[in-house]
Amino acid sequence: MSDLTNPFLIVQGQLHRAVKNLGLSEDVYEMFKEPFRITRVSVPVHMDDGTIQTFIGFRAQHTDVTGPTKGGIRFHQDVSEDEVKGLSMWMTFKTAVMGLPYGGAKGGVICDPGKLSERELEELSRGYIRYLAPVMGPEIDIPAPDVNTNPKIMGWMLDEFDKVRGHHTPGFITGKPLVLGGSLGRDAATGRGVLFVVLRAMDRLGIDPKHATAAVQGFGNVGSHTARLLHEAGVTIVAVSDVRGSAYNPSGLDIPELLKYVEEHQTTKGFPGSSEISNDELFALDVDVVVPAALENQIDGKRAEKVRARIIAEAANGPTTPEGDQLLRERGIFVIPDILCNAGGVTVSYFEWVQNTMGYYWPEEEVNEKLLRMMNDAFDTIYAMRNEHKVTMREAAYLVAVHRVAEAANARGWLRVNFHHEVPQALLRGAGD
């Protein structure tokens, strides 16, 4: 990982620019440029062949200035300490953009879950939580699914945490099975949030969804739900890709049939009526919207030069490098930044945590209505900031987020901050108002 693609260094730069643009003291940057806690764990697993293999995991907790830390856990062979540190900081700014009462966290284990049996995966999941339990909990740090983790794994982790604590703690983790206190609407929440802000952006740019086209890179939980929901809204999906291949049809893909195909074949490759294209070709398609929904650093300078879409909707975390971002800005392409675009997941996780605390659960329609209102409010706040300060949507999102974090630090007495720019107080009241 080079300095140009290191998530930790990228988000530090974004934080520093926001602090300068807001006219805040350098002390704000110094206080929030590093996570307050990084925990590294070694998790031994009894493998099916009788050997023991030790896996390395991390948990980064960035700041709890606005509430307990919140963030997913990913299982991936490329997990690193700097990755989870950077992602934990992005989570802080994502929750701040949405006005949620959380700070940011992120966790990861270096592994290839595709090479583990279900029993090995369960033992790894339980061991990871067992070693981290002293620094986690519903009032401390609340994990959730991320890359290569899912509700089943969250259920194992919840059970292990309950064993350590000796009592039921449903609010410890979100994205868990419904029967264990999960929230209706959580599975599709990130993709649904992407839909809401894409439709909002189309409205602002004068694009009719019924005549719009889109391409989606990444067809896991987020990408598949995004494609399905955009299709249901009338958008023609012409291309999708995953780690094993892609499906392209300039006339449009039959998304319901594609979802059935992927469930059976575990890839989009070979879908009847489609052809194969590379990710380079996908990003260069002449479509209205491109949705990067995979991993970080997908739109670099080379790809940004060839983008023809009017909107980039960042469903993944950190999918655009700084060089790519600068080129997209120069070319006038409207980017919906990740800390807004994919915030639907953490927002419905917040709803789940609230429901766990109350012991009262909402119907899915109510969950989706609350999500729509919050995503639209956040988009409108950032769009107004963009227009007022003549900056990009990403820069506007960081102005809003860093202002809220700095204001919380000021209110706690951690810092003395003089604010030179105003952020709408409706956002700063928090999500519950």
Q: Would residue 288 count as lying in a domain?
A: yes
CATH number assigned to the domain comprising residue 290? 3.40.50.720
Task: Supply the pTM of this predicted model.
Answer: 0.92
User: How high is the pLDDT of residue 422?
Assistant: 59
Of 296, 314, 341, the one marking the end of a domain is: 341
From residue 141, alpha-carbon distances to 122, 137, 317 in Å are: 21, 5, 20
Please tell me whether residues 155 and 193 are part of one structural domain. no
Please tell me whether residues 281 and 211 are part of one structural domain. yes
List, for residues 219-267, the tens digit of each pLDDT value: 999 999 999 999 999 999 999 999 999 999 999 999 999 999 999 999 9
Of 298, 314, 341, the one marking the end of a domain is: 341
DSSP, residue by residue, 301-367: HHHHHH---SEEE--SSS-B-HHHHHHHHHTT-EEE-HHHHTTHHHHHHHHHHHHHHHT----HHHH
- Pair of tokens at residue 198: 């894409």
Told to judge if 106 belongs to the known catalytic residues of this protein, a careful annotator would answer yes
CATH number assigned to the domain comprising residue 153? 3.40.50.10860
Please tell me whether residues 294 and 245 are part of one structural domain. yes
Of 134, 169, 204, the one marking the end of a domain is: 169
Set 85, 94, 106, 370: catalytic member: 106
Q: Would residue 303 count as lying in a domain?
A: yes
What mean pLDDT is reported for the chain? Answer: 94
Q: Would residue 122 count as lying in a domain?
A: yes
List, for residues 293-333, the tens digit of each pLDDT value: 998 889 999 999 999 999 999 999 889 999 999 999 999 99
Q: Would residue 409 count as lying in a domain?
A: no
List, for residues 329-349, the tens digit of each pLDDT value: 999 999 999 999 999 999 999
Please tell me whether residues 199 and 333 are part of one structural domain. yes
List, for residues 105-140, the tens digit of each pLDDT value: 999 999 999 999 999 999 999 999 999 999 999 999
Please tell me whether residues 193 and 291 are part of one structural domain. yes
Structurally, how many domains does the chain consist of?
Answer: 2
- How much is the average pLDDT of 94-105? 97
Please tell me whether residues 165 and 240 are part of one structural domain. no
Please tell me whether residues 38 and 103 are part of one structural domain. yes
Domain around 199 = 189-341
